[in-house]
Amino acid sequence: MDVAMVCYDVYAIVMIESNIYHDDILRHAVRNSITGLPRKVLATLKASASMTEIIETLESNFGNIRSGEALMEEFYTMKQGKKETSKAALER
C-alpha cells in the first residue's frame, strides 16, 4: 500500500468514526475523489455500498500484504538514487 493510500485509508476511517457527515454524503465524496484504476474497481460495487465495503475493496485490491515490520525495514534501509528526487524515492 503506498503512502497516499495509507493516508487516505486513515482519513476515511477518522471521517466515518467522527460522524460529522451523513454516511451517504461521505460515500459520495469518497467515490468522487478516487481516480484511475481504483475508481474502476469501485465502479463494480453497488451504489449503496457502505464505507466499510468501499475501504475493504480498496484494501483488498491495492493494500499491502507485507507486515508492518517489513515495511518499516524497507523504509529505513532504502536508498535514494543520485538523480532521483526524494518524492520519487518515497513513491517507489
**pLDDT recorded at residue 5:** 61
**pLDDT recorded at residue 4:** 58
Residues 6+ apart with CB under 8 A from 12: 26, 30, 51, 54, 55
Map residue 3 onto helix, strand or coil: helix
What is the grid cell recorded at 15? 471521517
**pLDDT recorded at residue 8:** 66
How far is the CA of 4 from the CAs of 19, 39, 44, 46, 49, in angstroms?
Answer: 23, 15, 22, 25, 22
Number of neighbours of residue 67 by Cβ within 10 angstroms: 9
**pLDDT recorded at residue 16:** 78
Q: What is the chain's pLDDT, residue by residue, as a tens digit (92 residues)? A: 455 565 666 677 777 788 888 888 888 888 888 888 888 998 999 988 988 898 888 888 877 666 667 767 877 787 888 888 888 877 76
Confidence (pTM)? 0.56
